[in-house]
Every structure is written in C-alpha cells, then in structure tokens.
Amino acid sequence: MSTDGTFWRAAWIGLAAFTAFGLILGIAGKHPLQAYLDTGAYVLGSLEGFTELFVRMGPLVMAALAVAIPARIGLFNVGGEGQIYMGALFATGAALHLAQAPSWLLLPATIAAGFIGGAIWALIPALMRVAGVANEAITTLLLNYVAPLAVAYQIFGPWRSPESSSYPQSPRLAEAATLPVLPNTRLHAGLLIALACLAVFAYVFHRTRWGLEMRAIGGNRTASQHLGLPVRAYVLLCMALGGGIAGLAGMAEVSAIQGRLVAEVSPGYGYMGFLVAWLAGPSARAIAGMALLFALISSVGDILQITQRVPFAVVNILMAAILFSVLCAGRRR
C-alpha cells in the first residue's frame, strides 16, 4: 500500500466530505465558506486557536490507540469512552488519597492509576470474550454507560467537594498531581505521552516479533491458534493495553485540563477515537494525521456554534460523511 496513494485518497475523501457538509449547511441556511475561513483565521491567527488543536489531538490519539491495538488482532474496542472515564476515576482516587505523598511519587502514581483504571475496564469485556460469553463490541459499549455513572456517583457522594456550594465535583487535585502545562496555553504533557505511546505502538507492531504475531492473529485466528500462538493471552493483553492508554487520556483530562473530577470528563473522545482508528488503519502517521484532522473539525464546530448559531452536534454530520465515504468506497455491487 503506497503511502502516496493513501494520502491522496484521504485528501480526496476529506474534500468530498467537507463539500457535502458545506452543502448541508447551505441548505440549512448557514454560510459554510465563511465558517471555514473563520476557522482558518482562528486556528492560524491566535495562540489559543492553534494550541487547542493539539490539546484536542492528545486524547484523540490515545483514544485511537485504544481501538487500534485490539483491532490489530481483530477485536472491536468501542469502549474507549468508558475507559477514559474509569481512568479519570482511578487517577482522581489516587491523587486524593495520596495527596500527602511527595511530588515525585504523586504524579507517577496518578498516571499509573489512570492506566490501571482504563485497563481494568477493558479487561472485563476481554475476559468475557475469552470465556466465549459475549462479543466485545457489545460489552464495551454497555460499559461506556456504566463508567460515567460511577464517576457521577463518586462526585455526588463520597468525593463531593465541600466548597462550591456542594456542586458535584471532586476537590481540586494537588499541584503535584497535575501534568505540566505550557504556560499561557492549555497544552499539556498528555500530548507527549500520547505521541510516545504512538511511537511505541508503531515500533512494536511493525518491527518486533510480537507485532508479527498480532498481525497473524488478526489475519487468521484459527490458523494462529493451530500454530500455537497464545491467542487468548494476546486478547487480554491488547485489550488491557488499549484500555490503559484510554485511561491515560482520562487521567490527562482530569489532571491537566479540568483540574478535578467533574461529571463530563470527555466530550466524546472515545467515539471519535474509534473513528480516527477506523479511518487511519495501522499506520501511526495516519493516526496522528487523522487525530489532527478531527481536532480541526472540532474547531470548525466551535466556530460554527459561535458565529452562525449552529449546534455543535452538527459536526457529527461531517464526521459521518467522511466515514460513509470510506465505508462505501470499498466494494460496489
């Protein structure tokens, strides 16, 4: 698969989708071209606009990895959203309970807790899959709804901050538990973590024996089993890794962006990550590129909302357009 070919194909799909979206907006009485221009001005013309792209890109890359890693062995992890929430939950728990710990311990512990939270949440469906009980697409989806409820339970109850008129949110996390942030922006170390995970994934998948085994399992599970590959172990491992990375995204949102645990940890990064991974395939560069594209689309949504009173949810149409183009470009009958 030539990278040139995929790049042009992606560009073509992007163009088609933006045009279709523009048409729909036009029919609805809005001004798509003006919106696109405004977005360009915002993204290129202001520090905030520019850095926001990368602020959004970090969690998207991590959510995409949460899907991409299990996908390599043929699994569908649609539970990124729930894993993000559980990562946020566990990270908050660690930061609150270990608040007295020295800073060199607190931040790594918070990060580790975030990973563990997400990993556990992905392991439940993985175990059910290995036991032959249920397809992970359904179980991960169901757990997506349980996780935010668990977060809500904590912030309305045991972790409710006594200040702020009992508004349901946790107390502020200690300074020592927050990821470093680039001053005057919201750009935080989470992006570095995301890119590091991406690099490791690319290396392992393309250049190690484990990656080769994953590709074998993904290609033909039965044959791999007959060859003696530990398929079940890979199922558990890949789901746990994917969930853990999503958990890191949740940790980053709590630690660097919100500063505390709130009811809405993620604006749908889990689902967007699924789409990024779906569109990008196994290529790390494509994942990074798609994540940036989705971040850009989100900025379009922000601008549309402010300047043209279009509900933000409408960007979903654009994303759906991109997806359906890809899905239907496959085989025509």
Partner 1 sequence: MIAALLIASVAAGTALLYAALGEIVGERAGIINLGVEGVMLVGAACACAVGAMSGNPYFGVLAAALAGALISLVFAYAVVDCAANQLAAGLSLLLLGLGVSALIGNPFVGAVMPGLPSLARMDALVALVLPLTALIAWGLWATRWGLQLRAVGENPTAAFAAGCNRRRLQYQAIALSGMLSALAGAHIALGVAYTWAEGMTGGRGFIAIALVMFARWNPWGAVAGALVFGGAEASQLQLQAHGVDVSPFVMNMLPYLLTLAVLPLTGKRGRLAAPAALGRPYRGVE
Partner 2 sequence: MLKILICVLALASPVRAQDKPPLTVGVIYIGTANDYGYNRAMKDGVEALRKATGANVLEAENVPESAEAQRVMAAMIAKGAKLIMATSFGHQEFAFNLARSHPQVAFVHAGGWMLRDNFGNFFGATQTAWYVLGVAAGHMSKAGKAGFVAGVPIGYVIGNINAFHLGARSVNPKFQTRVVVTGGWSDKVKEAAAANALIDQGADIVTMHVDSPATVIQIAENRGVYSIGFQSIEARALAPKGWLTGLGFNWGPYMTETAQQVVNGTFKGKMVRLGLREKMLVVAPFGDAVPQNVRDAVDAAAARVADGFTPFTGPIKDNTGAYALRAGEKMENSDMGKFDWYAEGVIGRVK
Q: Is 109 near partner 1 (CB under 8 A)?
A: no
166 binds, among partner 2, partner 1, none (CB under 5 to 8 A by kind): partner 2
Task: Determine, following the binding rule CB under 8 A, whether residue 222 of this chain makes contact with partner 1.
Answer: no
List the interface residues with partner 1, window 155-184 (CB under 8 A). 156-157
What is the rounded distance in angstroms from the CA atom of residue 81 to the CA atom of residue 97? 24
Residue 122, judged by CB atoms within 10 A of its CB (0-12, 13-18, 19+), counts as: buried
Q: Can you state the angle between helices 3-27 and 284-308, rounded to 10 degrees?
A: 20
Question: Is 107 in contact with 134 (CB distance < 8 Å)?
Answer: no
Residue 48: which of partner 2, partner 1, none does it interact with, CB under 5 to 8 A by kind? partner 2
Q: Which of 5, 29, 132, 157 binds partner 2 (CB under 8 A)?
A: 157
Q: Taking each helix axis as running N to C, give the angle between helix 269-280 and helix 231-252, from 0 to 180 degrees, rounded to the nearest 10.
A: 130
81 contacts partner 2 (rule: CB under 8 A): no
**Nearest approach, Cβ of 78 to partner 1 (angstroms)?**
7
24 binds, among partner 1, partner 2, none (CB under 5 to 8 A by kind): partner 1
Helix, strand or coil, per DSSP, at residue 96? helix
DSSP one-letter code for 188 = B
Contact criterion met (CB below 8 Å) for 118 and 248: yes
Q: What is the C-alpha to C-alpha distance for residues 144 and 147, in angstroms, rounded to an integer?
A: 6
Question: Which residues are CB-contacts of 53 (< 8 A; sequence separation ≥ 6)?
Answer: 43, 292, 295, 296, 299
Interaction of residue 26 with partner 2, rule CB under 8 A: no
Q: Is 152 in the site for partner 2 (CB under 8 A)?
A: yes
Q: HSE, CB side, 13 Å, CA atoms: give it for residue 206.
A: 11
CB of 200 to partner 1, least distance (A): 26
Question: Which member of 40, 211, 259, 289 binds partner 2 (CB under 8 A)?
Answer: 259
CB-based burial, 176-189: b 16+ in 10 Å, e otherwise:
bbbbebeeeeebbb
Closest to partner 2 by CB, 118 vs 168, is: 168
* Interface with partner 2, residue 44, by CB under 8 A: no
Instruction: Give contact residues for partner 1 (rule: CB under 8 A).
Output: 24, 28, 76, 78, 128, 131-134, 137-139, 141-146, 149-150, 152-153, 156-157, 271, 274-275, 278, 310-311, 313-321, 323-324, 327-333
Instruction: Give contact residues for partner 2 (rule: CB under 8 A).
Output: 42, 45-46, 48-49, 52, 152, 156-157, 164-168, 184, 186, 253, 257-259, 262-265, 267, 302-303, 305-307, 309, 311-313
